[in-house]
Amino acid sequence: FQATVKEGVTGVIVNLTVGDRDDPATGAWRAVYTIINGNPGQSFEIHTNPQTNEGMLSVVKPLDYEISAFHTLLIKVENEDPLIPDIAYGPSSTATVQITVEDVNEGPVFHPNPMTVTKQENIPIGSVVLTVNATDPDTLQHQTIRYSVYKDPASWLEINPANGTISTTAILDRESPHVQNNIYTALFLAIDSGNPPATGTGTLHITLEDVNDNVPSLYPTLAKVCDDAKDLKVVVLGASDKDLHPNTDPFKFELSKQSGPEKPWRITKLNNTHAQVILLQNLKKANYNIPISVTDSGKPPLTNVTELKLQVCSCKKSKMDCSASDALHISMTLILLSLFSLFCKSFP
């Protein structure tokens, strides 16, 4: 028997026919096929077609033309039921199957796949990330390979089409929504010069190491207090940072520099991530902006100044009225300084 199959394909490739003059309704007619030689890699299987008694020879593991273009199998067939004793001929027959494997243009293969590399976020644009390596399984065709970007969710990368060198086209950011568990994933293609060309896909995992590139943020930014409050602890402030340790807490909380000596409030650190704003006296009903600086523990540290809006409201019968606190309060010291400056300009 002769059969032809393309490399990389599985399924039935040839039907082996037999003749048997026993009753088709009995085990004396039904055939049992066995591959007895030429199948060391277990790439082939044979089963009996119950309607026709033919042997259906199948490829179950894809064949590789570059390893072997020809296979020769020796098939044995016998009945389900044994022959009666003293028959002059043997209990089975054999046949040879010659199989020709046709070459198919296969896609290039990346080594390794997936590819992994570790880089600091914020490396300069144009930095080399990795040079990929893909080879063509069609070693007998002497094809060339070119590379291209397939999926780059954040548009951070480019690849040299000739040599496979991957470089950055933008700043890598560990805090980007495209980064999962500190890993950025991109896909690349290797395309051979076959006709038609075949393509292989490679996966790149970039593990991004954290650098201190995010200032801490303060929350909440609004607080309310009664103008006759007995408890002058206004609000507990928290700070958070998108970076990782050691570029986050412990945070340093401070009142930012303000003009004039009057500071009717102070800030007290509670723990590594929280502080408390306390009034030193009851204030008149108004809105006050309190500039607070928060500094992280990175090297070098980063500082963010946030204004806490403090609304001093009138409170009667457990009801807080802040409606008259629309105008921003300016300390008396600043008012006096402004008046003094106007006075000096008027009377030099």
Cβ neighbours, 10 Å, residue 59: 22
pLDDT in tens, 86-121: 777 778 899 999 999 999 999 999 999 999 999 999
- Measuring CA to CA, how many Å separate 336 from each of 152, 330, 343? 60, 10, 10
In a domain, 51, yes or no: yes
Mean pLDDT of all residues in 240-262 = 86
Please give the span between the terminal C-alpha atoms of the chain, in angstroms, as a whole number.
119
187: in domain: yes
Predicted confidence at residue 337, as pLDDT, reads: 43
Residues 55 and 120 occupy one common structural domain: no
Query: Is 325 among the domain residues?
Result: no
Residues 115, 177: one domain? yes
pLDDT of residue 324: 54
Q: Is 345 contained in some domain?
A: no
Residue after which a domain boundary falls, among 102, 125, 147:
102
Taking residues 68-85, report their average pLDDT.
93
User: Which has more pLDDT, 341 or 195?
Assistant: 195
Please check whether residue 342 lies inside any domain of the structure.
no
Quick one: pLDDT at residue 199?
A: 97
**pTM (whole model) above 0.85:** no
The stretch 127-141 carries a mean pLDDT of: 93
- Give the model confidence (pLDDT) of 278-331 as tens digits: 999 999 999 999 999 999 999 999 999 999 999 999 988 878 888 754 444 444
Q: Mean of the pLDDT values across residues 250-268?
A: 82
Distance of alpha carbon 277 from alpha carbon 235, whole angstroms: 6
Same domain, 194 and 222: no
Compute the residue count for the chain. 348
What confidence category does residue 334 fall into, taking pLDDT thresholds of 50, 70 and 90? very low
List the beta bridge partners of residue 47: 56
Q: State whether 113 and 205 are in the same domain.
A: yes
Name the more confident of 167 and 321: 167
**Do 174 and 92 belong together in one domain?**
no
Q: What's the pLDDT at 213? A: 94
Average pLDDT over the chain reads 90
CA-to-CA dists, residue 28 to 70, 84, 95, angstroms = 35, 10, 20
Asked if the structure places residue 337 within a domain, the reply is no
pLDDT digits (tens, 9 = 90+) for 193-218: 998 999 999 999 999 999 999 999 99
What was the pLDDT predicted at 142? 85
pLDDT of residue 260: 54
Residue 31, pLDDT score: 95
Q: How confident is the model at residue 85 (pLDDT cuts 50, 70, 90)?
A: confident
Which tens digits make up the pLDDT trace of 31-52? 999 999 999 999 999 999 999 9
Residues 134 and 68 in one domain: no
User: Where among 80, 102, 124 does a domain terminate?
Assistant: 102
| Residue 22: CA count within 13 A, CB half-sphere | 16
95, 1 contact by CB (below 8 A): yes
Q: Which band of pLDDT confidence, cut at 50, 70 and 90, is reported for residue 259?
A: low
* Predicted local distance difference test score (pLDDT) of residue 64: 93
Same-domain status, 35 and 122: no
- Is residue 40 in some structural domain? yes
Mention every residue, 6+ apart, whose C-beta is less than 8 A from residue 86. Answer: none
pLDDT at 323: 79
Query: How far apart, in whole angstroms, are the C-alpha atoms of residue 152 and residue 202?
Result: 12
Same domain, 227 and 196: no
Instruction: Render pLDDT for 212-237 as a digit per residue (tens, 0 to 9).
Output: 999 999 999 999 999 988 889 999 99
CATH code of the domain in which 143 resides: 2.60.40.60
pLDDT of residue 258: 64
195 and 226 share one domain: no
The pLDDT confidence band at residue 62, using thresholds 50, 70 and 90, is: very high
**Mean pLDDT value across residues 114-139:** 96
Residues 201 and 239 in one domain: no
Give me the pLDDT at residue 261, please: 58
Q: Is residue 173 part of a domain?
A: yes
Mean pLDDT of the 4-10 span: 95
Domain containing 204: what range? Answer: 109-209
User: Does residue 240 sit in the same domain as residue 166?
Assistant: no
Tokens of 215: 């200032």
Q: 307 and 276 in one domain?
A: yes
Mark which of 37, 71, 102 sits at the end of a domain. 102
Q: According to the model, what pLDDT value does residue 335 have?
A: 40
How many domains would you assign to the chain? 3
